[in-house]
Structure 1
Amino acid sequence: MRRLPTALVPPAALTLGVALAFASTFAGKAHAADRVTGEPFATRSEVYAPNAIAATSHPLATQVALDVMKGGGSAVDAAIAANAALGLMEPTGNGIGGDLFAIVWDPKTKKLYGYNGSGRSPKSLTLAEFQRRGLTDIPAHGPLPVTVPGTVDGWFALHEKFGRQPMAQNLAPAIRYAREGHPVHEVIAYYWDRSVPRLSKWPGFSEQFTVDGKRAPRVGEMWKNPNLANTLEKIAKGGRDAFYKGDIARTIDAYFKANGGFLSYEDLAAHRGNWVEPVSASYRGVDIWELPPNGQGIAALQILNLLEPYDLKKYGFGSPEHVHLFTEAKKLAFADRAASYADPDFYQAPVARLISKEYARERGKLISPDRAANAVEPGVIPELNEGDTIYMTVADDRGMMVSLIQSNYRGMGSGMAPPGLGFIFQDRGEQFVLKPGHANTYAPGKRPFHTIIPAFATKNGKPWMSFGLMGGAMQPQGHAQIIVNLVDFGMNLQEAGDAPRIHHDGSTEPAGQNTAMTDGGVLELETGFPYETIRALMRKGHTVKFADGPFGGYQAIMVNPEGGYIAASESRKDGHAAGY
C-alpha cells in the first residue's frame, strides 16, 4: 500500500466527497508518469536476468531463493527455502501453520502441475457443535476456525517431484535467520502492530510473537524466533512426518485439548495434500491457468471470459467503461463463487461449464452498459450430495517456473500458537458456512472454500508468465486486472502491477451467513482514477468509496523472448524482485 503522510491517512473507507477531495489533493504531484521511460504507472523498472530470478514480498527471502539456485537447487527448492524464510520474516501473512497452493511449469515434460495443499477441518468438530453454541458464523480467531495446516506436507510433495537438493539445505537459511535474527520491514511491522491487540488473548501468542510480551517489533528492529528454528530443524531431520506424526503433532494435540480446541493428532496424521490438474480459459490469445475449487481461481477466468467481448483497449485504462464492465463481470463471477466453490470431495462444481465461453455469453447478457446491478443470482444452482497471505514466484536456469501462494488467513491467523513451536495456526475454517444445504457448509474432515490462488499464463503452449496477487477476495479481481493491463492496455510487467486497482466489495460470499448482495456493493478505487470516471460511475449507480489497503500484493515473472526472465514486485508491500 502506498503510504500517505500520517496527518493525511484517511479511515478505511471514506465518503465519495472526501475521496474526490483526496484525488484532487494528489493530482499534479510527482507521479510514475514523470519517469523518463514514460510508463504512466510504473514506480520502478522491471527486473531482467539471464539465468534465474525470484520475486517475493521480502528482500531477504528473494535473496534466499537466489542463493539456493546459485548453489544448484531447482526453482522448487528455491521456492521452498523462500517460503520457509517468509514464514519467519512475514508472520503477518504466512507460516507453517497455514496452507499452500502451487502451479509448477516443468521444462522436461513441458506441462503445468497443480498442487492443492489445503487442510481439512477436525473430525471431532461437528456442525451441531456450532449450532449448540448459538453461532451463525465461525469466529475469526481462537481454536474453532483452526484446520489442519498443509504447508509442510506441500513442501515435501513439491520437493519429491521437483527438488534437486536435500530439504535440510532448503530449510537452513530460515533456521539461521530464526536463530541469528533479521530486521523487520516496514509494511510487515505495520500489520504486526495491528495484530497484537487482537491476538494477545490466545495462549502462546504473546510469549512467542511480541517483544517483552507487550508489543510488536518495530521497523528495523532485529527479530529472532528460536522456537521456530527448533521446529524447522526437526522437520529438516525427520521429514514431513516429524510435523504430522512426531513430537510436534503431540504438542499440538495437547495444546488444543488444553485450550478448548478440536484439532487432534489423528487429524494431523491423516493429512495429505493432492496434485490437481490446472484449468484454463483463453483471453485474446493468452491461456490463463488456475487451480479448480476448493479455491477461487476460476473466478478470474470467469471475469476474463465476460470481459473478452468488449474492446477495453479502445475505452482506455481508467475509463468509466473499463471500471464499470470489470465491476459488473466481477459481480456475476462472484455470484457463482458464493454458490458453487467448495471442497470437491463434498460437491463437484461444474468447472468446465463455469469457465466456458458459452456460459460467459449467457451470463454476459445480464451486464447493462448503463446501470450497476444491485443484485445478482448465480447461474448454476448446486445439486448437493450428502455427506493475509504471501505470493511468490521463482524461475531457474533450466526453465522451471513456480507460482506459489501460502497463507495463515486474516494476517497472523487464529492467534493459536502452541508452546515452544514458534508458529501460529491458520483460521481458514472461518470460510465455512454454518447453514445446512450449502456447498460450503461446515462438515468434519472437509476442506473449506479457499481464497489463496496461484496463477500462470501460457502462449501457444509455452510458458509466458508466472504470477499472483494475494489479498482475500481481491485475488481473482487482481489476477484479471493484471491480464487486462498487460493484454489490453499494453503495460509492462511492473506497470501492470503498479497501476491503480479496482476492488469491488459486497458480493455474496461463500462463507459466514452467506448473505446475498442486494445493494450493489461498494466500489473502492485506488488513487489515480480520473475525477470524470468517478462521476460517471456514480451516474451508473455505483457506490464509490476511498479505501486504503485492500488492493493486494503482486509478484510476477515473465519469460523474456530475448532470453532469461523479467520480474516485477509489489510496490504496496516490502516486495523485491532480483535475479542473476
Structure 2
Amino acid sequence: MQPELPFSSRRSPVVCLNGCVASSQTLASVIGLDILRRGGNAADAAVAVAAALGVTEPCSTGVGGDCFCLFYDARTGQVRGLNGSGRSPRALTLDLLSGLGFSEAQPPSVFHALNVTVPGAAACWCDTVQLFGSKKLTLGEVLEPAAELAERGFPVAEITAHDWARWSKALKDDGKALGGDFLINNQPPKHGQLFANPTLARTYQELARSGKSGFYEGRIAEAIVDVVGQNDGVMTLDDLKNHSSTEVQPVFTDYKGVRLWECPPNGQGIAALIALNILEHFPMKEMGHNTSGYLHVLTEAFKLSLADVIHFCADPEKVKVPVEGLLSKAYAGQRAQLINMQTAGVNEHGAPPGSDTVYFAVVDVEGNACSFVNSTYLGFGTGLVPENCGFSLHNRGANFSLDGSHGNCVGPEKRPYHTIVPALLTDAVSGRLLCCYGVMGAFMQPQGHVQVLLNMLEFGMNPQKALDAPRIYVYYDKTDGQWKLSVEAGVEQGVAEELGRRGHAVVGPVSGHQRARFGRGQVIAVGCWWDPDASEAETDARVLWAGSDPRADGCALGY
C-alpha cells in the first residue's frame, strides 16, 4: 500500500546560464544534462531523456508509444514540429469492429490489442536527432546512457511505484497480466526497489545500431506483430515498415504580447489556443487568481474549446480539419459571448468558418529549445509486451470514435485524436524564446498549458510557483452526459461551493495521489519576463529559470 502523498511544495526555481533540463524523473534529467555538457544540443538531450524515461517510468511512457516534438532554432528564430504519432493498421476498419460486436456505445476494452496503433516514438527519436540535433553526437551516443541505466538497474521513485502498481492492477482487473519484463517475483516494484530491464537495453542498442529499420523491421517488428496477433489484433509487418513521422507546421495564437505555439491536429494543442482566444475577452488578472469568477470563466472557456476540438480534431491527412476557422479571433469572440458569468453552460461545439504522457523540456547553451512529450497513453498502454523487447505497446487507438459520421472515426492507416501536446512560448513581436513548457496528463494537457501560462503572465509567478499552484480539470463524463469540474485541494472551499452554486458539477477537493489528474508539468523560462517588477535588462537576460511539477518524481537541473 502506497502512502498518501502530502502536497507542500516549497521548491525554489532552478536558475542557471548554460543549459537546463526539466523532467518527471531525476535520473532522466541527469542524463539529459550530461548530454548537454558533452556538446549535444536541446534535441539530442530531449531524445536521451525520452529514452531514459522509458526505463524509469514505463507506466507512463516508452518506445512502444508515440511522441510529439517542438523545436525552437535559436539561429533562425524558427519553430518547427514533428508529429511522431503512429497510424492504425491497414486492416482496422469500422466494418471489422462492427462485425466483432463493437460500437460507439460498446467499444473494445481500452486495453484491447485492437487499440494498438503503430508505435511512433522510435522513428520520431531518430528524426529529432537527424533534423534538429547538433550532429556532434550519434544516435548511439544519445541512447547509450538510457541503455546503460536499463542494463544496470535503478531505484524506483515514489510516485512512479504507486502508478506502476495501479496500472498493473488495472490490467489484471481487465483479465490481462502485465509482462514479466515489468514485474519482480510477479509483483510491481516498490519505492526504492532496484529494477533492471536488460531486454529494453538491447532494444535501444538495436535502434542505435540500425536506426528506424532496427525497430520497424526484423526481430522487434516481428515480436510486435506476434503479440498483437496472439491477442486478436490486426497489425502486420507492412504496417510497421510503412511508418514515418511527419514534419509539421506548428500553429499559434497571440495573447497579450506572447505567442503560444502548439502542434497542429491530430494533436489537441489547438484547444489551448482556442481557450486563450476566448479568455482575451475577460479581465482575468482583475478577477484574481483562482477566485470563483476566474475559475468559472476558465471552466467555461475550456468546455467551449474542448467541445470544438473533440468534434473537429482528427487526422488532417484523412479529413479536413478547420484549423484556421477554429483559431479565428472573430470566432473566439462569438464563442466568448456564450459565457454567462453567473451560470454554467452546456457548451456544445460551434461552427467555425470552413468547418467540418510524460512531458519534458530542454534549453541548451545556444538558446535552442526542445519541447517534447512521449506517452503510452493509459499506464502501460495495452499492457502487451513484445517478447524480449522490454517495452509495452500503447493503446492510442482507444481515442478513435466508432461513429461512422465522425471525422475521427476509426479507419485504416489513420492517426487518432491525440492528447499529447508540447508547447513553446515566444515574444509575439520579436520572436525571442520566452518559455519551453508543457503539462502532461491526457485531456488535462491544454488546460494545464493555459493555467500555467496565466499564472506566469497575469499573476507574475515564477516557473516553480506557476506549477505549484492548485489547478482545475474540466472533462466530459459520458456515463451521465455531464461536464465535470475537478478542483484540486488548495482551491478555497468557499470558491468550490460558489462554483457549485453557479451550476458546475464540482468534484473535489482532490488530494493525494489523485492529484495526477491535474497533470505534471515542466517549465524552462528564458529571462524573468513573467516578473512585473523586473527591469527590461533583467527580463532579456540569458538566465534560465526552471520549475518541475511536485505532482511528479522529477526535477529541473541546470549548469
Whether the 8 Å contact between 1:54 and 1:577 is mirrored in structure 2 is: yes
1:93 counterpart (60, 65, 68): 60
String of CA shifts for 1:284-315, please: whole Å, max 9, x gaps. Answer: 11111111110000000111111112111111
Whether the 8 Å contact between 2:300 and 2:347 is mirrored in structure 1 is: no
String of CA shifts for 1:139-187, please: whole Å, max 9, x gaps. Answer: 2003110000011100111111122210111111111111110000000
Secondary structure of the corresponding residue to residue 72 of structure 2 = strand
2:379 counterpart (403, 411, 426): 411
**In 2: Cα distance, 1:362 partner to 1:109 partner:** 36
**In 2: Cα distance, 1:320 partner to 1:4 partner:** 34
Check if 1:196 corresponds to 2:172.
Answer: no
* Inter-CA distance 516–351: structure 2 relative to 1 (3 Å threshold): farther
Residues 4-403 of structure 1 aligned to structure 2 (within 5 Å): 6=4, 43-136=10-103, 137-163=107-133, 164=135, 165-200=137-172, 205-212=178-185, 214-380=186-352, 389-403=357-371
Q: How many matched pairs?
A: 534
**In 2: Cα distance, 1:328 partner to 1:487 partner:** 20
Check if 1:579 corresponds to 2:528.
Answer: no
The letter for the 2-side match of 1:574 is: D
193-202 or 425-434: which moved more? 193-202
| 1:543 aligned residue | 505
String of CA shifts for 1:171-219, please: whole Å, max 9, x gaps. Answer: 111111111100000000000011112335778833211112x210000
Whether the 8 Å contact between 2:82 and 2:248 is mirrored in structure 1 is: yes
Secondary structure of the corresponding residue to residue 523 of structure 1 = strand
| 1:512 aligned residue | none
| 2:536 aligned residue | none
String of CA shifts for 1:245-287, please: whole Å, max 9, x gaps. Answer: 2221122223333332211110000000101111111111111
Secondary structure of the corresponding residue to residue 359 of structure 2 = strand
**In 1: Cα distance, 2:108 partner to 2:424 partner:** 32
| 1:438 aligned residue | 406
Whether the 8 Å contact between 2:281 and 2:336 is mirrored in structure 1 is: no
Residues 430-509 of structure 1 aligned to structure 2 (within 5 Å): 430-459=398-427, 460-506=430-476
**RMSD of the TM alignment (CA)?**
2.0
Q: Return the offset for 1:517.
A: 8.1
Check if 1:553 corresponds to 2:515.
Answer: no
String of CA shifts for 1:529-563, please: whole Å, max 9, x gaps. Answer: 12221222122111212132210000011112322
Q: Return the offset for 1:516.
A: 10
1:527 counterpart (471, 477, 489): 489
Whether the 8 Å contact between 1:138 and 1:432 is mirrored in structure 2 is: no
**In 2: Cα distance, 1:243 partner to 1:236 partner:** 10
**In 2: Cα distance, 1:381 partner to 1:517 partner:** 31
Secondary structure of the corresponding residue to residue 114 of structure 2 = coil
Whether the 8 Å contact between 1:391 and 1:405 is mirrored in structure 2 is: yes
412-421 or 249-258: which moved more? 249-258
Residues 563-578 of structure 1 aligned to structure 2 (within 5 Å): 563-578=542-557
Q: Return the offset for 1:74.
A: 1.2
TM-score w.r.t. length of structure 2: 0.92
Whether the 8 Å contact between 2:92 and 2:410 is mirrored in structure 1 is: no
The letter for the 2-side match of 1:454 is: P
Secondary structure of the corresponding residue to residue 83 of structure 2 = strand
Q: Return the offset for 1:475.
A: 0.5
Whether the 8 Å contact between 1:138 and 1:429 is mirrored in structure 2 is: no
**In 2: Cα distance, 1:451 partner to 1:381 partner:** 24
| 1:38 aligned residue | none
Q: Return the offset for 1:4.
A: 11
**In 1: Cα distance, 2:282 partner to 2:303 partner:** 17
Secondary structure of the corresponding residue to residue 317 of structure 2 = coil
Whether the 8 Å contact between 2:321 and 2:355 is mirrored in structure 1 is: no
* Inter-CA distance 318–254: structure 2 relative to 1 (3 Å threshold): closer
String of CA shifts for 1:449-475, please: whole Å, max 9, x gaps. Answer: 000000010013110001000001100
**In 1: Cα distance, 2:364 partner to 2:355 partner:** 44
The letter for the 1-side match of 2:397 is: G
**In 2: Cα distance, 1:529 partner to 1:445 partner:** 44
**In 2: Cα distance, 1:517 partner to 1:286 partner:** 39
Whether the 8 Å contact between 1:506 and 1:517 is mirrored in structure 2 is: no
Whether the 8 Å contact between 2:115 and 2:396 is mirrored in structure 1 is: yes
Whether the 8 Å contact between 1:81 and 1:174 is mirrored in structure 2 is: yes
Secondary structure of the corresponding residue to residue 115 of structure 2 = coil
Q: Return the offset for 1:376.
A: 2.3
* Inter-CA distance 230–204: structure 2 relative to 1 (3 Å threshold): farther
String of CA shifts for 1:363-389, please: whole Å, max 9, x gaps. Answer: 1111001110134243349866xxxx1
Secondary structure of the corresponding residue to residue 473 of structure 1 = helix
* Inter-CA distance 72–361: structure 2 relative to 1 (3 Å threshold): same
The letter for the 2-side match of 1:112 is: V
**In 2: Cα distance, 1:351 partner to 1:192 partner:** 37
Secondary structure of the corresponding residue to residue 425 of structure 1 = coil
Structure 1 unmatched ranges of 5 or more: 10-25, 33-41, 508-514
Whether the 8 Å contact between 1:104 and 1:114 is mirrored in structure 2 is: yes
Q: Return the offset for 1:138.
A: 3.5
Once the two structures are aligned, what percentage of the paired residues are identical? 38
Whether the 8 Å contact between 1:339 and 1:381 is mirrored in structure 2 is: no
Whether the 8 Å contact between 1:202 and 1:415 is mirrored in structure 2 is: no
**In 2: Cα distance, 1:105 partner to 1:446 partner:** 28
The letter for the 1-side match of 2:38 is: G
**In 2: Cα distance, 1:374 partner to 1:195 partner:** 33
Secondary structure of the corresponding residue to residue 234 of structure 1 = helix
